[in-house]
């Protein structure tokens, strides 16, 4: 009868195996979460840099428009904002507010900052556009 003994099927994980897996998951989470947060900040700042690039493109566009209309180069920011359908300062359509300001001679300083409540809230970047000579 002993040879016909029914073998019990032992299925499942032991407590030590479950704890080991939970510890490994905890370690992975502790390493991954800070890197993920840093990636979010970097992505917001890169988006702000892209908004500054958009501001530079607007300055270039309106400088060309000013030259075509007046046959002279614009002297400063007031020339670009004073045109009919000219440069809008500050430009606030979208997730960023783009501010323009006169810089050194022939330069326009551009600052982009994330709109409060948007996905890019708190992101900022700045750059310089050059008025053509």
- Domain locations in the chain? 13-130
Q: Which two tokens stand for residue 88?
A: 């809008």
What does each of the 133 residues of the chain score in pLDDT, given as a tens digit? 554 555 566 678 889 999 999 999 999 888 888 777 778 888 999 999 999 999 999 999 999 999 999 999 998 899 999 888 888 988 888 899 999 999 888 899 999 999 999 989 889 999 999 988 8
Task: Establish how many alpha carbons lie within 13 A of residue 43's alpha carbon, considering only the half-sphere containing its beta carbon.
Answer: 8
93, 29 in Cβ contact below 8 A? no
Give the pLDDT confidence score for residue 70 in this predicted structure. Answer: 92
Q: Which residues of 16-55 are buried (b: 16+ CB within 10 A; e: fewer)?
A: eeeeeeeeeeeeeeeeeeeeeeeeeeeebbebbbebbeeb
Q: pTM of the prediction? A: 0.71
């Amino acid at each position: 009868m002993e040879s016909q003994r029914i073998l019990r099927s032992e299925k499942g994980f032991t407590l030590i195996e479950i704890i080991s897996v939970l510890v490994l998951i905890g370690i992975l989470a502790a390493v991954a979460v800070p890197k993920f947060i840093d990636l979010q900040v970097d992505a917001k700042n890169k988006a702000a840099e892209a908004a500054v690039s958009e501001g530079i493109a607007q300055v270039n566009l309106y400088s060309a428009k000013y030259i075509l209309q007046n046959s002279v180069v614009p002297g400063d920011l007031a020339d670009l904002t004073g045109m009919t359908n000219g440069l809008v300062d500050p430009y606030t359509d979208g997730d960023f507010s783009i501010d323009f300001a006169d810089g050194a001679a022939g330069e326009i300083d551009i600052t982009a900052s994330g709109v409060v409540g948007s996905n890019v809230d708190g992101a900022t970047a700045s750059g310089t556009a050059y008025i053509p000579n």
